[in-house]
């Protein structure tokens, strides 16, 4: 969407919605209250209507009727079958993706596997914008392996982006693994994945990308970019449901080289041989651990199909349109009220959410949720994070969000709320 001119009146948003080629997908989601503006699809996507039907079928017919036979009619191979569908969204080969466990657990499996595959190297490169679980998992792997690994974090001057050259420079012949998120969770900063991956490969390091905030919103080309390893959530822009199992990707040629540190029976070469000794599967299923949570797993499938139907190019195009529009409105309506942009201005460097920063960001977020029917989320220290989900977010909702933020601040409605953080922000 190459708009150079965004207009700040509400009618402009309606004209954009009328011309939106993804408009019909909004009806595919459960939307009970049209006044409630949901801007947190980057944390938990909305419920697709067809997911309810699938869950009903799985519970009623399969669990209720088929009982244990369900494993033979669609449950057992679901990690690979649904993984192959996610692979289409990732630009990967079908057998390079499985669905299993949580993103955190998949990170653990891949971090340990990667460090063991580079036994003479001690450095792990990441950045201080990375999601905490990614850093904790690396720290835990370092502690577990007890091999003197060092985690080097590239810093960020503005909390929005890192200097990409600094990341490239941090990678050298001592680097075992580069582990980064694309985009980053607070600012939605997008890396140049091919450039970093290429630099890592030129030194012999492996690269592990966390695509949690990209999958289903930002175009990814894992094969073309020669990505080694990747993980990501399915409950954000893929709309898989709360806590739905994550995806795990390993490039084909690394399947036999890398070993999961969790030697569960689902990763065994022949689980139903019930051998006494572990022998990993030859393919990616070696990264499965144990029985998957079938209800959550099967609920992902109809949601992913919606993304495939819409097509990731069209989704990305609308995402760029929505975030650009949001920034244009924020420049006009929110900057005079003390807001600063907490995300990259360049759409090529920005994912599908926009953070607007304000000293009273936390209390403003509380007021939005409690009395303005807008649900964004808050990320320390001052980011109001506004996620746009192209399958169901409209331009009118973007306009309303900015307008309601403006009204909260102009009337100082946030003053009624405590700055003491609630458990979940």
As a whole number of angstroms, the distance between CA 168 and CA 183 comes to: 17
92, 94, 98, 99: CA torsion to nearest 10: 90
Minimum distance from CB of 173 to ligand PLP (Å)? Answer: 28
Q: Residue 103 or 393: which CB sits closer to ligand PLP?
A: 103
- Extract the tokens encoding 238: 């893929």
Letters for 228-267 (x = contact with ligand PLP by CB under 6 A, - = none) are -----x------------x---------------------
- Extract the tokens encoding 142: 């370092």
Minimum distance from CB of 47 to ligand PLP (Å)? Answer: 18
Q: Which DSSP helix (H) or strand (E) runs through 294?
A: helix 294-310
Q: Residue 132 or 148: which CB sits closer to ligand PLP?
A: 132
**46 scored as a contact of ligand PLP (CB under 6 A):** no
As a whole number of angstroms, the distance between CA 297 and CA 307 comes to: 16
Say which residue the tokens 């009204």 belong to.
407
The SS3 assignment for 399 reads helix
Using alpha carbons, select from 339, 420, 352 the residue that is nearest to residue 388: 352
Using alpha carbons, select from 182, 121, 204 the residue that is nearest to residue 344: 182
Contact 206, 229 (CB under 8 A): yes
**181 scored as a contact of ligand PLP (CB under 6 A):** yes
Q: Which DSSP helix (H) or strand (E) runs through 38?
A: strand 37-38
**162 scored as a contact of ligand PLP (CB under 6 A):** no
Side-chain-facing half-sphere of 204: CA atoms under 13 Å? 13
**212 scored as a contact of ligand PLP (CB under 6 A):** yes
Q: Residue 65 or 242: which CB sits closer to ligand PLP?
A: 242
**103 scored as a contact of ligand PLP (CB under 6 A):** yes
CB closest to ligand PLP, residue no: 104
> Which of 29, 75, 108, 185: binder of ligand PLP (CB under 6 A)?
185
Q: Catalytic amino acids?
A: 131, 210, 235-236, 385
> Which of 213, 316, 379, 404: binder of ligand PLP (CB under 6 A)?
213
**193 scored as a contact of ligand PLP (CB under 6 A):** no
Letters for 116-155 (x = contact with ligand PLP by CB under 6 A, - = none) are ---------------x-xx---------------------
Minimum distance from CB of 185 to ligand PLP (Å)? Answer: 4
Q: Residue 29 or 185: which CB sits closer to ligand PLP?
A: 185
Q: Residue 51 or 212: which CB sits closer to ligand PLP?
A: 212
For residue 219, give every residue at least 6 positions away whose Cβ sits within 8 Å of its Cβ, in sequence order, or none. Answer: 91, 312, 313, 316
DSSP letter for 126, please. Answer: E
Q: Contact residues for ligand PLP (CB under 6 A)?
A: 102-104, 131, 133-134, 181, 185, 210, 212-213, 233, 246
């Amino acid at each position: 969407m190459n708009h150079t001119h965004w207009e700040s009146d509400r009618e402009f948003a309606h004209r954009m919605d009328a011309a939106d080629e993804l408009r019909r997908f909004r009806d595919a989601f459960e939307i009970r209250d049209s006044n409630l503006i949901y801007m947190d699809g980057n944390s938990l996507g909305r419920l697709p209507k067809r997911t309810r039907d699938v869950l009903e079928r799985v519970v009623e017919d399969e669990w209720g009727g088929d009982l244990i036979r369900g494993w033979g009619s669609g449950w057992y191979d679901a990690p690979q079958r649904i993984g192959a569908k996610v692979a289409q969204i990732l630009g990967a080969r079908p057998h390079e993706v499985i669905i299993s466990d949580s993103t955190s657990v998949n990170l653990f499996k891949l971090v340990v596997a990667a460090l063991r595959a580079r036994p003479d190297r001690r450095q792990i490169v990441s950045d201080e914008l990375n999601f905490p679980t990614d850093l904790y998992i690396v720290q835990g792997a370092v502690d577990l392996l007890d091999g003197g690994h060092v985690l080097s974090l590239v810093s960020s001057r503005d909390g929005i982006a890192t200097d990409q050259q600094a990341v490239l420079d941090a990678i050298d012949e001592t680097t075992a693994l580069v582990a980064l998120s694309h985009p980053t969770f607070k600012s939605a900063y997008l890396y140049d994945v091919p450039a970093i991956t290429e630099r890592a490969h030129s030194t012999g390091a492996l690269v592990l990308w966390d695509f949690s905030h990209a999958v289903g919103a930002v175009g990814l080309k894992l094969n073309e970019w020669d990505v080694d390893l990747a993980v990501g959530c399915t409950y954000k822009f893929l709309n898989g449901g709360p806590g739905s199992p994550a995806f795990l990707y390993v490039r084909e040629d690394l399947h036999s080289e890398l070993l999961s540190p969790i030697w569960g029976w689902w990763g065994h070469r022949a689980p139903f041989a019930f051998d006494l000794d572990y022998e990993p599967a030859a393919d990616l299923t070696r990264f499965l651990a144990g029985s998957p949570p079938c209800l959550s797993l099967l609920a992902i499938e109809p949601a992913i199909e919606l993304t495939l139907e819409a097509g990731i190019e069209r989704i990305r195009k609308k995402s760029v349109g929505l975030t650009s529009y949001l920034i244009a409105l924020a420049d006009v309506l929110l900057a005079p009220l003390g807001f600063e942009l907490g995300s990259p201005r360049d759409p090529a460097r920005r994912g599908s959410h926009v953070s607007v920063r304000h000293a009273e960001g936390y209390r403003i977020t509380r007021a939005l949720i409690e009395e303005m029917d807008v649900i964004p989320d808050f990320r320390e220290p001052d980011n109001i994070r506004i996620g746009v989900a192209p399958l169901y977010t409209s331009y009118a909702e973007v306009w309303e969000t900015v307008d309601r933020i403006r009204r909260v601040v102009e009337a100082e409605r946030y003053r009624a709320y405590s700055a003491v953080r609630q458990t979940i922000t």
